[in-house]
Structure 1
């Protein structure tokens, strides 16, 4: 898959970054993670899924960003910020590619590499909900990848902060996932409803989440918002990209934390849940074509 005869294996996608991160999650930490307002679990499997999703979206868009920022990234003193950077997959790739640019990532969970990283990359432990630890008009490009469990009012604050720390003439970019569950089978619909109920318990109503472009437009500094949307089908009927996303989807639903909370919401044992994922879901996806999309919204600050 990809250009220049590159391939994206749906069997086991890893990078050297995995070797740089050695985070073990205790049962107590996992219990705490279920209660936090936003967190990427520190387990190896969760980090693996995050890495894979990075390469998935890069292939889908054929780029790491949609904002017209590439030329500026080659210039000295250009500064880039990644919000909720997780294990830093996106930042590590770009920091190696654009050596003249200074890259920063903020994350409230210590899952990024502290020692083995490019000299032009800095990670900062910070809670994005408490405001960004940077002055106004500091960055040429500020982006936020896909994140879950964020309330609409929190999202508005985060976007306002992104715009605040962006230089006039700089760009912000956000990623959003959409799925209307057309062409979905009963297993996917059941998993979706259970996930919805779990989020609702955290006061996040996924059915009422606002469109990111409307939130961005509401700021007087970013009245024009551009949209780059890519569609794909989950499972074998979506071709190679569908199989890669199936690995991500199944990996997420088989992760320890997800098994814990979704089996509870569904009212079934963990063993029954695992059978539903490993057998029922896989068989269903051979017969259905559930469509999803990823959207990048980007805007230039006045």
Structure 2
């Protein structure tokens, strides 16, 4: 690896105080809805990675296996508890894996020696030199950024990637497939709640164009339709439904119940009706992975 770690020194200017205040306010608005540091939410994030790995049947999609075995640098933006980093670092000991998140929920002591974590906000800029990483990964970040912020993060990812390096993005599309009437109204109300917190509910549908607009080439997309029950969707459908259930039962319960004017008990009863409808209507979701390459020149 030679002097690879020296390439990680900061190159971007630090934001002004006013810029930092604005960015922190924007970030706090999105965090008001969720409980990212709760044990349940951390477990849900860990569970989500292994489910995504099962659905796509791989840890990553870009063709960089040989480079990982030889030794290279990889970055995970919004790494959460660091599940992907830990899995990759254990599987590819010759490479170095870096992750950062706005919340310090990643392991700080017990971890592979080639796994590195830092608390940071992507909206402050990616503080790495250009042409540093072979792969930059973002997963489930659409709810954290608006369109312009996501575009800036993608463009900055292009800067810090090596020529020929890849970006990989994983998001769940915002609309259910085969919604029943009660679930449709429930989700419409949730989207209104997101919009009032300045979140772009259509952002996941715009990512292909944002990646292209940022200057990436060889853009590939893998869309997997998951029917949210075991009889129709198999084990993936059963597990993905558990993920959805945990989200609406735990992550947003208090905020969404208050927004609907319901008690927690009434909210959970209403969500149970939605769950029954999901089975009846064979409702599904689309999980999408995009990967694209930085030009060689």
Output aligned runs, 1:4-153, within 5 Å.
Answer: 35-37=28-30, 41-76=36-71, 78-147=72-141, 148-153=143-148
Report the counterpart of residue 293 of structure 1 in structure 2.
286
Report the counterpart of residue 155 of structure 1 in structure 2.
150
TM-superposed deviation, 1:179:
4.8
Q: State the distance in 1 between where 2:203 and 2:162 align.
A: 31
Q: State the distance in 1 between where 2:166 and 2:27 align.
A: 33
TM-superposed deviation, 1:180:
3.7
Unpaired runs of 5+ residues, structure 1, are 1-31
TM-superposed deviation, 1:208:
6.0
Contact 1:225 1:297 in 2 (8 A): yes
Q: State the distance in 1 between where 2:104 and 2:227 align.
A: 33
TM-superposed deviation, 1:272:
0.2
Q: State the distance in 1 between where 2:253 and 2:131 align.
A: 43
Q: State the distance in 1 between where 2:266 and 2:29 align.
A: 27
Contact 2:75 2:99 in 1 (8 A): yes
Mark the CA change 1:34 to 1:144 in structure 2 (over 3 Å): closer, same or farther: closer
Unpaired runs of 5+ residues, structure 2, are 1-24
Contact 1:224 1:300 in 2 (8 A): yes
Q: State the distance in 1 between where 2:179 and 2:156 align.
A: 37
Report the counterpart of residue 7 of structure 2 in structure 1.
none
Q: State the distance in 2 between where 1:182 and 1:99 align.
A: 41
Q: State the distance in 2 between where 1:117 and 1:182 align.
A: 39
Q: Say yes or no: does 1:231 pair with 2:225.
A: yes
Q: State the distance in 2 between where 1:229 and 1:99 align.
A: 30
**TM-score, normalised with respect to structure 1:** 0.83
Contact 1:142 1:162 in 2 (8 A): yes
Q: State the distance in 2 between where 1:152 and 1:93 align.
A: 30
TM-superposed deviation, 1:274:
1.4
TM-superposed deviation, 1:265:
2.0
> SS of the residue aligned with 1:212?
helix
> SS of the residue aligned with 1:74?
helix
> SS of the residue aligned with 2:202?
helix
Contact 1:40 1:109 in 2 (8 A): no
Contact 1:217 1:224 in 2 (8 A): no
Report the counterpart of residue 198 of structure 2 in structure 1.
203
Report the counterpart of residue 266 of structure 2 in structure 1.
272
Contact 1:167 1:301 in 2 (8 A): yes
RMSD: 2.0
Q: State the distance in 1 between where 2:91 and 2:113 align.
A: 12
